Amino acid sequence: MASDHNKAPDQYLDLDDDASGELGDKVQQVRAELESLKQKQEEIEREKQRLEELKRRQDELDVGRGEMLDKLTRSLVVVQREVEETQKRLEQLHAIYNSFTQHLRHLESINARSWTGSELPRELSKAISSVEDARAEFIKAQAKISPDAPPEYSQSGQAEGDYAMYEERGFAYWLRSGFAFTLPLQIFSACGLLVWIWTILSAAK
């Protein structure tokens, strides 16, 4: 009997050691799992931050892309309009340049001293008409050449109105105007004609 009582505490002690070891293993296992879960949580957190940064950059791309698409589309319309207006203005300036060149060459070719007495009235009328044509063309073109020109030329409506007014005036007006504009030339020509007649009469004597 005594021997049975001595063995019982040892058996209980062995059971307690086994249970304690198993519990320790479980604690260690739980700690390892907690450490693994912590590492996974940190990895998940880093992945979350990476995805959030990518989402932010993607949103930034979408906003910037949409903004620039809108601005570039509108700007292309403005630039196209400017190109067309510039081409139109360039064509107008070429036409004005050619017109001015023709008028200039024609006016420079006028030589009143070469006209004989019989040619004088006809050539004089043609020359006056050429001068008026050049003046009308000049007034009409001033607003297109220089927008900052003086008020009498800077407003296209007024310039074109003056040009239309010149076109509407009849032959009588131009005849009177031509006579007034060329009165000094006529006096000079008349004097020259008188001198020429006097020279011929003197030679005939």
Spell out the per-residue pLDDT of the chain, length 205, in tens.
444 545 444 444 444 556 666 777 788 888 888 999 999 999 999 999 999 999 999 999 999 999 999 999 999 999 999 999 999 989 989 999 999 999 999 899 888 888 887 888 888 888 899 899 999 999 988 877 876 655 444 444 444 444 444 444 555 555 555 555 555 565 656 666 665 666 666 665 5
Measure the CA dihedral 5/9/11/12, to 10°: 130
> CA–CA distance from 180 to each of 122, 137, 184, 187, 204 (Å)?
16, 21, 8, 11, 36
| 17 Cβ neighbours under 8 A, 6+ residues apart | none
CA atoms of 93 and 112, how far apart (whole Å):
32
CA atoms of 79 and 83, how far apart (whole Å):
6
CA atoms of 97 and 135, how far apart (whole Å):
14
Helix axes 171-181, 183-204, angle to 10 degrees: 70
> CA–CA distance from 200 to each of 122, 159, 192 (Å)?
24, 50, 12
The pLDDT value given to residue 31: 87
> With contact defined as beta carbons under 8 Å apart, do 115 and 124 qualify?
yes
Q: Residues 179-182: contacts with CB within 8 Å, 24+ apart?
A: 181/128, 181/131, 182/124, 182/128
CA angle 158, 162, 167 (to 5 degrees): 145
93 and 135 within one domain: no
65 and 152 within one domain: no
82 and 131 within one domain: no
The pLDDT value given to residue 2: 44
The pLDDT value given to residue 71: 94
126 and 87 within one domain: no
Query: Which domain covers residue 138, as residue numbers?
Result: 120-204
22 and 100 within one domain: yes
The pLDDT value given to residue 200: 65
User: Does any domain span residue 199?
Assistant: yes
192 and 165 within one domain: yes
> With contact defined as beta carbons under 8 Å apart, do 174 and 128 qualify?
yes
User: Which domain-ending residue is among 109, 128, 159?
Assistant: 109
CA atoms of 154 and 139, how far apart (whole Å):
9
Question: What is the domain count for the chain?
Answer: 2
